[in-house]
Chain A
Amino acid sequence: MILSVPAMLLLVALVIGPAILVLFLSFTNASLGLAGIRFIGLANYTRMLTDPGFAQSLRNTALYVAVVVPTSIGWGLLVALLIARSRFAVLYRTAYFLPVAATLVALATAWEAILHPSLGFANTLLQLLGASPVRFLSDPATAIYALAAIGVWQLVGFNMILFLAGLSTIPEELYEAAAIDGADRGLKRFLLVTWPMLAPVTVFVTVMTIIRAFSVFETVAVLTQGGPMKSTSVVLYTFYQEGFRFFRVGYASAISVSFFVFVTFLSLVQMRVSERRARWKASGGQP
């Protein structure tokens, strides 16, 4: 028992206690530097729902998620399928995982230079091809997509690894059986064996990627600070600004509680799906 006391105390002091405190603060007008905390009920939450600034960051985040999730999952799956049959598997795996291993902030500054509005590599290439230059990160119409492209670049390798792990658990006999049924190659085989067998991994990858994309922070904080014209202000960056720059502790707490509820909801959905899957398997595949 004594062995777990330090962990128990720290868990209460650093995770559970603060989390409960955040919930409490979210119902108050707490603000750093201002004396006196007053209970204001759900006012922070109603403010969140009516604040056009927050609605904007929610929209931006949704747009970012809508681009990053399908692209990085589809690309990761494609790479995993192709790598699994490639003779250069190790080499490709290394290349695709490199962005996951790197320091994102440093590589984000490299992306910024590559996407330089007039003289970067991307625009030099566009001009060589006869297209007009794009002000990627400094145009409100394109900035969130430029950040999403960096997000995809960073997540493909991670999703690829999860799909590779999933592929390696599919028994070879299933492919042999499918071949006897005439599904011996290509799309047919993929639809009959690979895709259904990969379903639990796909659910997991999807939930993970949604949470990760929803939590986008570094590239925004370093490259755009939410601009130009708030076109890249996202939920976590807004939370950071409200909590630690404007010190609106109560309001920031309400944002983080909502974030927590959203993430927990997704995790529970994922757990439910994999549980049902496990039960289905345990019953010998009988629904």
Chain B
Amino acid sequence: MILAQSSSSRIASHAVLMTGAIIMVFPFVWMILASLTPQSEIFNGDLLPTPTLHGAIDNYGTALSAIPLLRFMANGIVVCVAILVLQIAIAIPCGYALAKLSFPGRPILLVAVLLGLLVPVQIPTIPIYIALAKSGLLDSYAALVLPWIVSVFAIFLFRQFFVTFPDEVLDAARLDGFSELSIAWRIMLPAAWPAVASFSIFSIVAHWNDLYWPMVVITNPDMMTPSLGIAYFRQAGEGTGNVGALMAGGVLVTAPLVALFLLMQKHFIRGLVLGRH
């Protein structure tokens, strides 16, 4: 910056930023405090809940035993990993073909991908729901995973990434007897690593947090994913609910994403920003 700021303006800007930052972080702090406080003392008129060891054991114990929270999280991991692996397996070859190969129908496919980018995720869900219901697949991993395995965003992102890849390398690989499929897997996938990392974070965060689709296709608590599980648990205890245990559940469900964010901020932010473009 070319200009030295006066110290009073620096203090003012600090105060504004700090106030906002406290508001941003406050719900997290409150959630953690309440998750450690005995249920009967969370709403006792004090400004903030006061943690005790006994409260912590109680709340986290309830969250892990009375609610199938570990089950929700295991479901979340299965669903997120399955979706991500299939998305990449489908999008990498397609992105490569769109970027580097010429074949009949390529322009149409490219237009279809671009149009697909415009379609909000909720639009195709009614017919897909009906198809899943008719084939008896509601309340299954298949219902949670199948609708998401083709990501137009991933195809588009990888295609953009591959377009600038040097053709000489590809020609050399073909001379060495590489098939197009093995080029896609053994040369393009490693080359696209940054794009794959960003996309992975976007995909994992989106599906770990998703409430809409699990709410549509899942009613069996054993099949619930983290967000739906928390919503279900809150609903079940409304009025008399155990807020301490609910907050413990919230902490456990949120912790993996927050840890991922803190450990790899750059990738994390890039993934989310790219994904919402």
Whether B172 sits at the interface, judged by CB under 8 Å, is no
B83 CB, min distance to chain A CBs, angstroms: 12
Q: Given contacts A82-B17, A95-B24, are A101 and B152 in contact (CB under 8 A)?
A: no
Q: Given contacts A10-B90, A244-B216, are A15 and B150 in contact (CB under 8 A)?
A: yes
Query: What is the chain B residue whose CB lies nearest that of A25?
Result: B126
What 0/1 pattern do residues 230 to 243 of B give for CB contact below 8 A with A? 11001000000001
What is the number of residues of chain A that contact chain B, defined by CB distance less than 8 Å?
91
Residue in B17, B91, B124, B254 whose CB lies within 8 Å of A107? B254
Q: Which of A15, A21, A179 counts the most chain B CB atoms within 10 A?
A: A15
Residue in B1, B48, B106, B123 whose CB lies within 8 Å of A18? B123
Q: Given contacts A14-B124, A96-B24, are A113 and B34 in contact (CB under 8 A)?
A: yes
The distance in angstroms between the C-alpha atoms of A92 and B21, with both chains bound, is: 7
Whether B64 sits at the interface, judged by CB under 8 Å, is no
Given contacts A125-B47, A259-B120, 19 further A-B contacts (CB under 8 A): A3-B97, A3-B181, A3-B184, A10-B150, A11-B116, A14-B128, A15-B119, A79-B17, A79-B20, A97-B265, A99-B27, A105-B231, A110-B27, A113-B243, A156-B20, A256-B122, A257-B123, A260-B120, A263-B118
Can you list 28 A-B contacts with CB-CB less than 8 angstroms, sorted by A residue number?
Answer: A1-B105, A7-B91, A11-B116, A14-B124, A15-B116, A17-B127, A18-B124, A19-B119, A25-B127, A75-B20, A86-B14, A102-B28, A103-B208, A105-B226, A106-B31, A109-B246, A109-B247, A110-B31, A110-B247, A124-B47, A128-B47, A157-B24, A176-B2, A179-B3, A184-B3, A236-B212, A243-B126, A256-B123
Which residues of A are at the interface with B, using a C-beta cutoff of 8 A?
A: 1-4, 6-8, 10-12, 14-19, 21-22, 25, 32, 75, 78-79, 82-83, 85-86, 88, 92, 94-107, 109-114, 116, 119-121, 124-125, 128, 153, 156-158, 161-162, 165, 172, 175-176, 179, 184-185, 208, 212, 215, 217-218, 221-222, 236, 239-240, 243-244, 249, 252-253, 256-257, 259-260, 263-264, 267
